[in-house]
């Protein structure tokens, strides 16, 4: 039986050596490709057949998520009406190792008649795909990892890397920011960390817990229990935060034998609690709450005038998937 580890290592080495060969012989036309997309007023259509089609889908997703509007178009669907998605101001990124795929090359003359520009990505500079393209990027393949030299392996890896490189160049040249990335990824963990503010997460209005400075023990306990936060803010007549009472403060008063029916919020509260502002990033607040000598599980939120507008809890932040 052949050594499995040796087979795996050989396949990896074949792909790695092909990547190095591609990098050392990088086609300068890639710069023209990026410039053409930058200057275009339309979108990028990425197309390919088979394994190249799978790579094309991934490249279109990467472009779209990094600030370049892109769509995947299957050549077979394009020949049956879906070529209507292509506009005269669009750029079509057509991927095919051999450059001789009938399904792909069949739709390219139609795309040219529509007026869109075609960028061909192929290992064959004498192919029909290269002939039909306005710009051709040649991807030299040193060796496929397939022992039969049949299954696309090194070639698809290189096409994928090239697509990533184009997307990253466009991202940088467009000055695409982390805030922009978050806008396109609202449901992902990274998107939430970059986009969610405390105002999106805090307990506010009727869900917020607060009592007056003269509130007695019964009022304090009822408010904490009713709102389920384990704490309540203490406010003055204008709604300005003047203190915070947590379960810890109640236990401290009990241990100091100060807890009685006549005790007031003023006597029990922490007059200088940590607080946050609505516009602060939720993830940064989570880190601040946890990265303390004594981590806190709940904190008040105040506006620029120190008006008590909400309460944030570690539990709520974690529930958001941060």
Question: What residues form the annotated binding site for Zn(2+)?
Answer: 74
Q: Of 310, 284, 280, give the one whose Cα is nearest residue 298.
A: 310
- Bridge-based pairing of strands 210-212 and 231-235 is parallel
Cα distances (angstroms) measured from residue 22 to each of 50, 122, 142, 154, 291: 22, 12, 8, 10, 46
In a 3-state reduction of DSSP, which class is residue 60?
A: helix
- Compute how many other C-beta atoms are within 10 angstroms of the C-beta atom of residue 36: 16
The continuous run of DSSP H or E covering 8 comes out as helix 4-24
Reported as half-sphere exposure (CB side, CA atoms, 13 A), residue 79 has a value of 12
Q: Are 147 and 42 in contact (CB under 8 A)?
A: no
Question: How many helices (DSSP H) and strands (DSSP E) are in the chain?
Answer: 15, 10
Cα distances (angstroms) measured from residue 100 to each of 1, 82, 164: 38, 21, 24
Q: Which residue ranges are tagged as binding site?
A: 74
Query: 235 Cβ partners below 8 Å, 6+ apart?
Result: 210, 211, 212, 213, 241, 242, 308
Cα distances (angstroms) measured from residue 156 to each of 82, 161, 210: 25, 9, 60
For 77-105, b where at least 16 C-beta lie within 10 A, e where not — what string? Answer: ebeeeebeebeeebbbbbbbbebebebbb
In a 3-state reduction of DSSP, which class is residue 46?
A: strand
Q: Of 156, 175, 158, give the one whose Cα is nearest residue 66.
A: 175
């Amino acid at each position: 039986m052949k050594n499995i580890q040796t087979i795996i290592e050989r396949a990896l080495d074949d792909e790695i050596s092909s990547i190095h060969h591609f990098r050392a012989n990088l086609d300068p036309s890639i710069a023209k490709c990026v410039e053409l997309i930058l200057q275009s007023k339309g979108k990028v259509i990425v197309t390919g057949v088979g394994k190249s089609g799978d790579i094309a889908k991934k490249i279109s997703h990467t472009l779209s998520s990094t600030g370049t509007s892109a769509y995947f178009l299957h050549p077979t669907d394009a020949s049956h009406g879906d070529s209507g998605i292509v506009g005269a101001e669009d750029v079509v990124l057509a991927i095919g190792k051999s450059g001789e795929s009938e399904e792909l090359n069949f739709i390219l003359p139609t795309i040219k008649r529509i007026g869109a520009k075609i960028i061909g990505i192929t290992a064959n500079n004498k192919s029909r795909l290269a002939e039909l393209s306005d710009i051709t990027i040649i991807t030299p393949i040193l060796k496929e990892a397939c022992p039969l030299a049949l299954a696309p392996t090194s070639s698809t890896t290189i096409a994928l890397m090239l697509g990533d490189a184009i997307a990253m160049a466009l991202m940088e040249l467009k000055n695409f920011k982390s805030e922009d990335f978050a806008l396109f990824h609202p449901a992902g963990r990274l998107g939430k960390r970059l986009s969610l503010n405390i105002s999106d997460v805090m307990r506010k209005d009727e869900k917020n817990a607060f009592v007056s400075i003269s509130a007695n023990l019964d009022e304090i306990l009822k408010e904490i229990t009713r709102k389920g936060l384990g704490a309540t803010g203490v406010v003055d007549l204008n709604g300005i935060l003047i203190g915070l009472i947590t379960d810890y403060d109640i236990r401290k008063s009990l241990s100091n034998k100060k807890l009685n029916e006549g005790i007031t919020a003023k006597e029990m509260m922490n007059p200088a609690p940590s607080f946050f502002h609505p516009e602060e990033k939720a993830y940064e607040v989570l880190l601040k709450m946890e990265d303390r000598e004594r981590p806190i599980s709940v904190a008040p939120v105040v506006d620029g005038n120190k008006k008590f507008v909400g309460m944030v809890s570690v539990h709520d932040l974690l529930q958001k998937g941060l």
